[in-house]
Amino acid sequence: MVPSTAIAASSYAVERATLRNGLRVVIAPDRSSPVVGVAVYYDVGIRSEPAGRTGFAHLFEHLMFQGSVSLGKMEHIRYVQSSGGSLNGSTRLDYTNYYEALPSNALERALFLEADRMRAPALTEDNLANQLDVVKEEIRVNVLNQPYGGFPWLTLPPVLFETFPNAHNGYGGFEDLESATVEDASDFFDHYYAPGNAVLAIAGDLDADQAMTLVRRHFGDVPKRDVPPRPDFEEPAPTSERRAEHHDALAPAPAIALGWRVPDPDDLDAYLPHALLASVLSAGDASRLRRRLVQDDRSATDIGAHLAFMEDAFDVRHPTAMIIEAHHGADIPADRVVAAVDEELDRIATDGVPDDELARIRARTASAMLQRADHVLARTLAMASYEQQRGRAELVGEMPALLAEVTGEQVSAAAASLRPDSRARLDVIADGAR
Amino acid sequence: MSPTRRPAKPREIPGLTRPRQPRLPSVAERTLPNGLRVVAVRRASVPLVQLRLRIPTAVRREGDLARMLLLQRSMMLGTAERSQGELAEALQHLGGSLRVYADADGLTMAGDSLAPELGSLLGLAAEVLTSSSYPRAGVEREADRFADGLRRALSQPGVLADEAWRGRAFGAHPYGRDLPSPDEVLEVPASSMRAAHRRRVGPDGALLVLVGDLRPTRALDQVERAWAGWTSGGTGSHVPALPTLEPGPLVLVDRPGAVQSNLRLGGPAPRRSEASYPAAEIANALFGGYFSSRLVTNIREDKGYTYSPYSVINNAAGGSWLTVAADVATEVTAPALLETSYELGRMASLPPSADEVAATAQYLVGSIALSTATQSGLADTLLDLLTDGQDVSWLREHPQRLAAVTPEQVHEASVPMLGPAGLVSAVVGDAEVVEGPLSALGAVVRG
C-alpha cells in the first residue's frame, strides 16, 4: 500500500440542466476575473466520417464559422472579437467543439451566437468552395510542406488500427474533400448537430441562475431532432507486432513511433494507471525514458510518451492508444531505440515504481492540472468534454485526487501490458537527409 | 433523410452588458542589495505560484548567439549539490518546474510550484543561479541535441522564411538571426559555460516577478533570504538600437518542389513608450493582427489563398518592428503578395472607418483582460511590461488609450509601419514556378 499524500485541488461547483430539446448544459461560476468561457461540444468527430468522405468532419467545422440564420459571412467572428473575445473550434476523433473566451459582459451575445449556428449554419456553395481552399492550405502548411508533417497522429493510426473509422486520415484526402457537396454538409448537420447531441459549458464570471435563464432564452427554441446512436468503434487489438515505414522527403533525420492499445478510457480504474505511466516514462528530465535514452545512452535526441493521438488523455473515447515517439540520429539504428524502450518498460513491470517516484509524479500532475484549470477557457473545455464523455463536469476539479489513488502496482501492470507483440511500430525514413 | 426544416428568421443580436473592470493587482516591490528588482503579486485563483526571472544579457558579437543558447540549454544540467536527475526530481516533488529561455536580449527563467512550496522553489532556483555545474559530458550532449534540433528547425519552411526576412532586414545586427547554425553550436567549447554563466547570469539589473497564491511581503522576504548569495555577473548588457530598415528588392529563397510559398514582409514599428503606440497596435490588428482583420478577410475568407495569415508587432530591447506572414499555395504566390500589398497600401493611404477602429480597440482591450486572467498570464504580462520600462498602471491606462484612438491616428501610424514602400520582403518557395510571376510585381533577388 502506498500512503496517499495530500493532493492540492480546486473544486468548482457545477449547475446542470437538460433542455427540452435535449441540449445538456453545465455552468460553473468563478468570479476571480471578469472573463467567461463558452463551449459547445458536438458528439461527432473524425471517426464518424463515412468512407469516401475523409476530412469531412473538419471541413464541416470550418463551415460553422461562415454565418448562420442571423449572421452574414465573418459576422460571427466579428461579433466575438469586437466584444473583446477570442474564439476557435477543433475537430477530434470523437467530438467537434466551438468555443470562445470573452469579457463577462459579452456572455449573452456569445450564447446567442452559438445558438444561431446550432439553429442553422449558412451552408452555401460559395462558403464550401472557399473553405475547401482554406482547408487545403491548412493541410499543406501542417502536413504536406512540413517535415514530420502528421507524425505520428496521421501516420501511426493506420498501422495500429484496421477499421476505417479508427485508421483513416482525419485531415482527409484532397479527392475526398473536393467531392464534398452542400447536400453532404446539410445531411451531416441534420444528422449530427442536433441539440440533443451537444453539450454547452459555461464557466467564469457569471451568476449561475442568470446564465441558465440566458441559455434557455437563446437555446430553448432550437428544434429538437433525433439523436443518432453513437457507434461502437471497437476492433480487435493486434496479436503480433504491426510495422510500417513512412518516407518523409522533407525530414532531415529519422524518427520512430510506437503505439499500443490501452483500456477503455471510460473505465477509469483500468485507464488511469496508463496516464500515470506516461508521466513516469517521459514527463521532465527525471523521467525514465528521458534519463535512459536522452541523457545516458544518447540514443534519442527527444522522446515523449502520451495517451491519445490528437486529444489529451481525458477527452478521447475507446479505442485509443499509448504512444511513444522519438527522434534519433541517422547513425542510431531504430532497433536500438526500441530495445531501450522495451527494457525500461520491463524494468517498471518487474521492479515496480518506488513510492518516492510516484509521489513526485502525483504532485507534478496535480499542479499541471491546476494550472490548466486556472485558464477559464481550458476549464470550460474540460468541463464540456467530461460532461459529454463521462457525464461528470466536476471531474475538472476531481481528477488530481483520482490520479493520486493509482498505486505503483497498477502502474507496473500498465507497463507490463505494453508488449512488443501487441504494438504498432512506424519508422520515419528521412529522405530529406543529405 | 433530412427533416423538413422551417427557415428560421433572423433575430436581433444582443448588446453587451455593463463591463466589470478587472481588478488591478496590488504589487509589493523591493530592490535587493545585489541589484535584483523583485515584484510580488497575490492572485489566489488556484493554489499555485508562478516565478519569472528576466536577466538582460545581450548577444553582441559573432558567436554570442550560439554560446548564449547553449548556456540556456545547459543551465539545468545540475548544481554543486545535485545532478540533473536529482534537480528534476526535487522540482517534481514541489509539483514544480523550472525552465530557461534565451533570446538576443537575455535570459528568462520561468517556474511554478504548488503554493506552499514557494520557499523551496526559490531555493532550487537560487541553487541553479549560483552553482549550476555545467558537467562537460552533459554540455556536449546538449550541444549535439541542440544541433539536431536546429537541423529539424531549419528544415521547416516557415523558419527559413523568418530567418531570411531577419537577415535581409537587420543584417549584422544581433536581431539579424534568431537561430545559430548547427556547426556554430558544435564549436562552442563545453568548458566555456561556467565562465559564461559568471559573466552573464547576474542579479544587477535583473527582474523577478512572483504571482500566485502568496503573501506579497512574505514572498519578498523569502526571496531576500534565499537569493542573497547571488552576486555573480556584471551589470546587464543591451543590444545596439535597431538599424533603419532599407527597403529593396524582394529576397527569394529557393525551395524546389515546395507546394507552398512562405511570404514575410515587415517594417519599423513604434516602441511601447511612444505616443503613437496605441494607434500602431490598432493599425496592426486591423490590418492583419486578428481574425476579423482585412488581411484574413481578403486572402483567406474571400480568396482562399492561405490558412493562417497574420501580422504582429514585435517588441524587443533594441526596438520594435512589424512582421506580416502568410503561407500560400505555390500557384497563387504572386496574387497573394499583390492582395497583401493592396491591403497594406490601403492602410497607408486612407483612414479606416470609425467602426473598424472601435471594434479593433475593443478586441485589444478584451485581449488584455483575457491574458491577465490567469496566474501564468499575469506573470508573463508583468515581466514583459516591466522589462520594457512600463509599470503595472499600464494595465489600467492602456485600455483607455486604445479607446481614445481616432481613425486619423491609425492612418498616421500606418504610413511608416505598413506603407509598402518602406517594407522589407522575403519569400521561400519553388523559385522555378514563382520567380517569374513575382518579378512582374517588383524587383526580385535570390537569397
- Digit-by-digit pLDDT tens for chain A (434 residues) are 333 346 666 788 999 999 999 999 999 999 989 999 999 999 999 999 999 999 999 999 999 999 999 999 999 999 999 999 999 999 999 999 999 999 999 999 999 999 999 999 999 999 999 999 999 999 999 999 999 999 999 999 999 999 999 999 999 999 999 999 999 999 999 999 999 999 999 999 999 999 999 999 999 999 999 999 999 999 999 999 999 999 999 999 999 999 999 999 999 999 999 999 999 999 999 999 999 999 999 999 999 999 999 999 999 999 999 999 999 999 999 999 999 999 999 999 999 999 999 999 999 999 999 999 999 999 999 999 999 999 999 999 999 999 999 999 999 999 999 999 999 999 999 998 85
Contacts with A250 from chain B: Cβ below 8 Å: 155
| Candidates B93, B156, B301; nearest CB to A360 | B93
Whole-number percent of chain B with pLDDT over 70: 98
Q: Is it the case that residue B365 has pLDDT exceeding 50?
A: yes
Kindly give, in sequence order, each residue whose CB lies less than 8 Å from that of residue B383, ignoring residues fewer than 6 positions away.
B52, B54, B108, B207, B209
Distance CA A153, CA A20 (A): 38
Q: What residues form DSSP beta bridges with B40?
A: B28, B210
Distance CA A383, CA A397 (A): 9
User: Are A360 and B114 within 8 A, CB to CB?
Assistant: no
* pLDDT reported for residue B1: 38
- Helix (H, G, I), strand (E, B), or coil: what is residue B337? helix
Q: What strands, in cross-sheet order, belong to the sheet with A198-204?
A: A15-18, A24-29, A198-204, A35-42, A96-103, A86-91
Q: Alpha-carbon Rg of chain A, whole angstroms?
A: 22
Q: What residues form DSSP beta bridges with A16?
A: A26
Phi then psi dihedrals of residue B213, to 5 deg? -80, 75
User: Are A105 and B17 within 8 A, CB to CB?
Assistant: yes
Kindly give, in sequence order, each residue whose CB lies less than 8 Å from that of residue A56, ignoring residues fewer than 6 positions away.
A49, A50, A172, A176, A177, A180, A184, A188
Distance CA A295, CA A285 (A): 9
Distance CA A353, CA A331 (A): 32
Say if residues A55 and A174 touch (Cβ distance below 8 Å): no
Give the pLDDT confidence of B169-220 residue by residue, as tens digits.
Answer: 999 999 999 999 999 999 999 999 999 999 999 999 999 999 999 999 999 9
* pLDDT reported for residue A434: 58
Taking CA atoms, A363 is separated from A403, B92, B321, in Å, by: 10, 7, 42
In this prediction, residue B232 has a pLDDT band, given cuts at 50, 70 and 90, of confident
Best mutation target among A107, A132, A374 (most B Cβ atoms within 10 Å) is A374
CA B375 and chain centroid, separation: 18
Contacts with B12 from chain A: Cβ below 8 Å: 70
Chain B residue with Cα closest to A88? B291
**Does A370 contact B at CB distance below 8 Å?**
yes
Q: Would you give the DSSP letter of residue A320?
A: -
Contacts with B356 from chain A: Cβ below 8 Å: none
In the block, cell 489513488 appears at A405
Contacts with A283 from chain B: Cβ below 8 Å: 92
Give the pLDDT confidence of B1-10 residue by residue, as tens digits.
Answer: 344 455 689 9
Contacts with A360 from chain B: Cβ below 8 Å: 89, 92-93
Q: How far is A227 from chain B (nearest CA, A)?
A: 12
Listed residue (B374, B385, B287) closest to B339, CA to CA: B287
Contacts with B367 from chain A: Cβ below 8 Å: 84, 86
| C-alpha dihedral, B327 to B333 to B339 to B342, nearest 10° | 100
Phi then psi dihedrals of residue B135, to 5 deg? -60, 135
- ipTM value: 0.95
Across B299-311, average pLDDT: 97
| C-alpha dihedral, B71 to B77 to B79 to B80, nearest 10° | -100
Say if residues A258 and A338 touch (Cβ distance below 8 Å): yes
Instruction: Label each residue of A105-126 as H, E or C.
Output: HHHHHHHHHHHHHHHCECCCHH
Say if residues A300 and A335 touch (Cβ distance below 8 Å): no
Interface list for B 104-133 with A (CB within 8 A):
112-115
Please report which helix (H) or strand (E) contains residue A403, including its range. Answer: helix A395-404
Q: Is the torsion defined by CA of B392, B29, B104, A148 positive or negative? A: negative
**Does A330 contact B at CB distance below 8 Å?**
no
Best mutation target among A145, A227, A399 (most B Cβ atoms within 10 Å) is A145
Distance CA A220, CA A20 (A): 7
Distance CA A279, CA A283 (A): 5
Report which listed range, A409-418, B13-22, B228-237, is most confident. A409-418
pTM score of the predicted model: 0.96
